[in-house]
A and B are shown apart, each in its own frame.
Chain A
Amino acid sequence: MRTGSLAAIGAIREHGEVPLVHLDDLSDDALIVPLSGIGAPTVSHEMIHSADEPKRIAEEIERLFGRPPSAIMSSEIGGSNGVIPVAWAAQLGLPLLDADGMGRAFPEVQMVSMYVAGLPADLVIMSDIVGNVVTIRPIDGLWSERLARAVCVAAGSSALMADYVLTAARARGAVIEGTVTRAIEVGRATEGAADPLGALQDRLGAARLITGKLTDVERRTTGGFVRGTATIEGTGAERGRRLTLELQNENLVALEDGRVRAMVPDLITVVDTETAAAIQTEALRYGQRVTVLAWPCDPLWRTPKGLETAGPRAFGYDLDYVPVEELIAHG
């Protein structure tokens, strides 16, 4: 959990600061490498990445494409996957692209903007802690996931993976831009603020769904995901209200009195009312004083293909997607 930021801080100290580049700064044929760590969470707390893993992948890319990569990109800005690419970029001496593949966090690998934009999942490059490098040429996304998983298990349930390696030209419209800057702005706005919650809400343009107390969390583990329901009861001026959240690693649907107040792919976040620090679904606990915020996702997720990939039905909810701003306006 803190491993990502420790690795980033250490790598910056050793190799220097990581420049942030925008897509417009890169020439059309510049190679962008989306990087992510894969493996079992229990293993990742013990088997920490080797500092050499990103190097092996960069070398392989140079062999395959005839030129070195120009920038590293986070596949998922949400959670630790948004922080640790800073370490990888520092170790490689490469800039970090001000973009990611989700603009949020999602639990499944195909839920990335590159897939929604129709880019083929025909190349996966993986490296492990001892220096093995595996290049996979899968026929589709399903095989990509299946083969990458098998390699990961053989490598001791810990590996680094680059998929959807793409040129800057192809990245335009296929990645979600500005998300690293946005994350930094959120941090700057809330850290040390007199009213962190207000600062966070302003910065995100988020609606406040409820402020109250977490009164119930019910979890069940199925198929590697933690599914469940969390209930928040209003306190103070909001006494008597009750919001429930449907969870599947992320907060997917917010309901009140049987009505949907926000739904995936729009963002729903539970934060500590006092500090405005986000509380991840596995850390939700009875008695926490929380505020639930919701705000619009990137427009890419609102396209038909985006909703098919990561809309409510992709997670098994029989709901027609309605944007959060409309739900709030009519609430």
Chain B
Amino acid sequence: MADLPDLRIGIDVGGTNTDAVALDAEGRVVAKAKRPTTPDVTEGLRAALDAVLAELGQGQDRVGRVMLGTTHATNAILERRNLGRVAVLRLGAPATTSVPPLSGWPDDLRAAVSAGEAIVPGGHYVDGREIGPPGLDAVRRFLDAALNAAAADAVAVTSVFSPASGEHERAVEELVKAEYGLPVSVSHEIGSLGLLERENATVLNAALYGVAAHVTEALVTALAERGLGARPYLAQNDGTLMTLEHAARLPVSTIGSGPANSLRGAAYLSGVRDAIVVDVGGTSTDLGVLAGGFPRESAAAVEIGGVLTNFRMPDILAIALGGGTVVRSGGVGPDSVGYRIAGEALVFGGSTATMTDAAVAAGRSPREADGWHERLRTAVEAGDVPESTLKRAVAVADEMVIDAVDRMALGRTDRPLVAVGGGAFLLPDDIPGASRVVRPEHAEVANAVGAAIALASGRVDTILPTGDSRTDAIERAKEEAAARAVAAGADPSGVEIVDLIEVPLSYLSEPAVRIHVKAAGPLAR
């Protein structure tokens, strides 16, 4: 029995810290660690993993799965590093020519990514008719010219109305793979309606193949070096997991997994499925909303590295308030001492007054705070900071949190607030807008817990006619979403439809609905 692979490790790479936890078969946290995030990300990941394995001791043989939520892809885009060159193809000409691909991209990102762009014939109307047959010869001419001029690492293909009619994208994908041997990103696998935003996400996805391979290799190598036979997964932006094979095809989906993990972890640790979640870090505080155990998603378009995409991301409100936020007589922040808090804050014997100090002065402190009060008292008595300044800072910070909670709650005041993150002790016990404040155990590593407990999922977003065939069409969309969840690693017997949204469309020749389906389930054994 001792060899049963019943443990799973969740790792979350955040801006300041890399957190790792191990959960047992019953889902209890049996080991946890926090290590600074390193510039290359991978070193911090290894350090956090080693710390958890050391705590597990002999138990490390029982680790069956490792789930990783990482900022590799986000960093690559923000820093324009390690990005692949992408030949960008759009099918739709003569439609859409008034806004060519990559319009509105920052010049440096465009220069780093583009291996040329073209709009060729193809694509569909909203009702499923072809605008024209796919211009396969035009595709060949474009690729021949593009590859002649510069090397391309991948091709991105976006066809008008492909979320409803994906066959032209598939035809081009087959051609490129067969004749050019390049990897292809097709937009209907990546985004929903909204041509430019979906195209942007598809191009970023194609540019991230190299980064995905690097992360995958780093994780697999780290596991192999430690003699772990665990199966690895990557976390994605909706709080669910992908197999490495899946992540290799859809690396862009890993962007934004951090907030989603933190929300899911908060739900899990607190046992609350509908709540406002407040994750207090070192520099900032993220607020999100749990609806039925999943993050409420943002309705607004999401910008990544200056590029607009239509990803469905958790609806997050970030405010400049964290444990390391600097407190002065004039106010609170927005600057923070960040990871240097362990040397600079008064409670650690440093000389900078931070929100952590203000909270401790107000009688709020984490479970383990050895010597904090004494050192703070010494600093106050030495005149490093007036007590009134610390008091006022707590009042200002509470007001910031109350205001932000109110914005996220949309007028509802009957839901609890779940406080997580390393700085959760900063939050007051009574917050108008929340029915009560829940402080679950292990809240400081909620994001890593969220990664460890995540499900696998699949989505479909398309337009369907509302006539007699509507019910069948919706059933087919559900089946497709479930199949995509299984492809992402879910156990076929455990997949459920967790989200179904129908929006009627106006001004069309035939009545139609836009439908969004999401299926999710536990990972297959």
**Alpha-carbon separation in the docked complex, A51 to B92 (Å):** 12
Which residues from chain A contact B406 at a C-beta distance below 8 Å? 287
Instruction: Report how far A6 CA is from B196 CA in the complex, Å.
Output: 10
- Expressed in whole angstroms, the Cα–Cα distance for A42 and B161 within the complex equals 11
Determine if B94 and A130 form an interchain contact, defined as CB atoms under 8 angstroms apart.
yes
Q: What distance in Å separates the Cβ of A38 from its nearest Cβ neighbour in chain B?
A: 9
Encode B388-411 as 1/0 by CB contact (under 8 A) with A: 000000000000000000111111
Complex-state Cα separation, A330 to B456, whole angstroms:
63
In the complex, chain A residues whose CB is within 8 Å of the CB of B409: 287
Contact assessment for B506 and A87 in the assembled complex, using a CB-CB cutoff below 8 Å: no
CB distance from A4 to the nearest CB of B (A): 9
Residues 88-99 of B, flagged 1 when their CB comes within 8 A of A and 0 if not, give 000011111111
What separation, in Å, do the CA atoms of A157 and B216 have in the docked complex?
44
Cα(A52)–Cα(B119), bound, Å: 14
Residue of A6, A51, A131 near B103 (CB, 8 A) is: A6
Measured CB to CB, the closest approach of chain B to A203, in angstroms, equals 27
Partner of A157, one of B126, B160, B196, B410: B126
**Cβ-defined partner of A10 (8 Å) among B100, B127, B408, B410:** B100
Contact pattern, B 138-161, Cβ under 8 Å of A = 1, otherwise 0 = 000000000000000000000011
A111 CB within 8 Å of chain B: no
Contacts A6-B196, A47-B160, A48-B196 given; does A91 touch B98 at CB 8 Å: yes
> Which residue on chain A has the smallest CB distance to residue B97?
A51
A7 and B507 contact, Cβ closer than 8 Å, known pairs A42-B514, A46-B160, A287-B406: no
A residues 1-25 with Cβ under 8 Å of B? 2-3, 6-7, 9-11
By a CB distance below 8 angstroms, the chain B residues around A10 are 98-100, 103
The distance in angstroms between the C-alpha atoms of A171 and B71, with both chains bound, is 58
Interface string of A124-153 (1 = CB under 8 A from B): 000001110000000000000000010011
Q: Is the CB of B194 within 8 A of A46?
A: yes
**Contact for A40 among B161, B195, B410, B505, CB less than 8 A:** B505
Please determine whether A3 and B196 come into contact, CB atoms closer than 8 angstroms: yes
B-side contacts of A3, CB under 8 Å = 99, 196
Contact between chains at B99 and A129 (CB < 8 Å): no
Complex CA–CA separation, A153 to B95 (angstroms): 16
Q: For the complex formed, measure the closest distance between the CB of A44 and the CB atoms of chain B, giving whole angstroms.
A: 10
User: A47 to B508, alpha carbons, bound, how many Å?
Assistant: 13
A49-B308 CB under 8 A given contacts A43-B126, A286-B411, A287-B410: no
List the A side residues contacting B98 at CB < 8 Å. 7, 10-11, 48-51, 53, 87, 91
Contact B94 A286 (CB under 8 A): no
B180 part of interface (Cβ distance < 8 Å): no
Asked whether A188 is an interface residue with its Cβ less than 8 Å from the other chain, the reply is no
Within 8 A of B (CB), among A208-238: 215-216, 221, 224
The reply to whether B194 and A156 contact each other, CB–CB distance below 8 Å, is: no
Q: In the complex, what distance in Å separates the CA atom of A224 from the CA atom of B409? A: 29
Partner of A156, one of B103, B125, B411: B125
Q: Which chain B residues lie closer than 8 Å to A313 at the CB level? A: none
- Whether B95 contacts A129 by the Cβ 8 Å rule is yes
Instruction: Tell whether B104 is near chain A: CB-to-CB under 8 Å.
Output: yes
Contact B193 A52 (CB under 8 A): no
B410 touches A47 (CB 8 A): no
B507-A224 in contact (CB<8A): yes
Q: Are A52 and B94 in contact (CB under 8 A)?
A: yes
**Per-residue 0/1 for B54-75: is the Cβ within 8 Å of any A Cβ (1 yes, 0 no)?**
0000000000000000000000
Q: Does A178 contact B (CB under 8 A)?
A: no
Residue pair A46, B126 in contact (C-beta under 8 Å): yes
A219 to chain B, nearest CB (A): 13
CB neighbours (8 Å) of B100 from chain A are 10
Instruction: Give Cα A154 to B103, complex, Å.
Output: 29
> Please, which residues of chain A bring their CB within 8 A of the CB of B103?
6-7, 9-10
B interface footprint on A96-139 (CB within 8 Å = 1, 0 otherwise):
00000000000000000000000000000000011100000000
CA distance A51 to B160 in the complex (A): 16
In the complex, which residues 67-82 of chain A have their Cβ closer than 8 Å to any Cβ of chain B? none
Question: In whole angstroms, what is the CA distance A39 to B131 when docked?
Answer: 17
In the complex with contacts A46-B126, A46-B194, A216-B411, A153-B507 CB distance below 8 A: yes
Interface size class of B (residues with CB under 8 A): 35 or more
Select A7's contact among B99, B131, B195, B509, beta carbons within 8 Å: B99
In the assembled complex, A45 has its CB within 8 A of some CB on chain B? yes
Q: Which one, B95, B407, B408, contacts A50 given CB within 8 A? A: B95
* Chain A 54-70 residues near chain B, CB threshold 8 A: none
Which has the most chain A C-beta neighbours within 10 Å: B98, B100, B125, B514? B98
Task: Tell me the minimal C-beta distance from B116 to chain A in angstroms.
Answer: 17
| CB-CB under 8 A for A6 and B514, given A40-B506, A40-B508, A156-B126 | no
Q: Closest B-chain residue to A6, C-beta based?
A: B103
Among B132, B410, B505, B506, which residue has the most Cβ atoms of chain A within 10 A? Answer: B506
Indicate whether A45 sits within 8 Å of B506 (C-beta atoms), given known contacts A130-B95, A156-B127: no
B407 touches A287 (CB 8 A): yes
Residues 118-141 of chain B, each 1 if its beta carbon lies under 8 Å from chain A, else 0: 000000011101011000000000
Q: Which residues of chain B come closer than 8 Å to A91, judged between CB atoms?
A: 98
A283 vs chain B, min Cβ distance (A): 8
Q: Distance (Å) between the CB of A87 and the closest chain B CB? A: 6
Across-interface contacts of B94 in A (CB, < 8 A) = 50-52, 129-131
A45, A49, A153, A287, most chain B CB atoms within 10 A: A287
B127 / chain A contacts, CB cutoff of 8 Å: 156
A47 near B194: Cβ-Cβ < 8 Å: no
With a cutoff of 8 Å between Cβ atoms, the chain A residues found around residue B195 in the complex are 45-48
Q: A39-B507, A130-B131 are in contact. Are A48 and B308 (CB under 8 A)?
A: no
**Known contacts A2-B104, A3-B196, A130-B94; A215/B125 CB under 8 A:** no
Residues of B within 8 Å of A87, CB to CB, are 98
B97–A47 contact, CB under 8 A? no
Specify the chain A residue showing the minimal Cβ separation from B161. A46
Question: Whose C-beta in chain B lies nearest to the C-beta of A286?
Answer: B410
* Nearest-Cβ distance from residue B102 to partner chain A, whole angstroms: 10
- In the complex, what distance in Å separates the CA atom of A195 from the CA atom of B94? 45
Q: From residue A249, how far is it (CB to closest CB) to chain B in Å?
A: 12
Given known A42-B193, A42-B505, A157-B508, contact A6–B161 (CB-CB < 8 A): no
**For the complex of A and B, 10 pairs with smallest distance between CB atoms:** A287-B407, A129-B95, A40-B507, A156-B125, A48-B96, A51-B97, A286-B410, A6-B103, A49-B98, A50-B94
Which B positions have Cβ atoms within 8 angstroms of A? 92-100, 103-104, 125-127, 129, 131-132, 160-161, 193-196, 308, 406-411, 505-509, 514
- Can you list 18 A-B pairs, Cβ within 8 angstroms, ordered by A? A2-B196, A2-B308, A7-B98, A40-B126, A40-B507, A43-B508, A46-B161, A46-B195, A48-B96, A51-B97, A87-B98, A152-B507, A153-B508, A156-B131, A157-B508, A157-B509, A215-B411, A287-B409
Besides A6-B196, A51-B98, A52-B97, 18 more A-B contacts (Cβ < 8 Å) are A3-B99, A6-B103, A10-B103, A11-B98, A39-B507, A43-B508, A46-B194, A47-B126, A53-B98, A87-B98, A129-B94, A129-B131, A153-B508, A156-B129, A224-B506, A285-B410, A286-B411, A287-B406
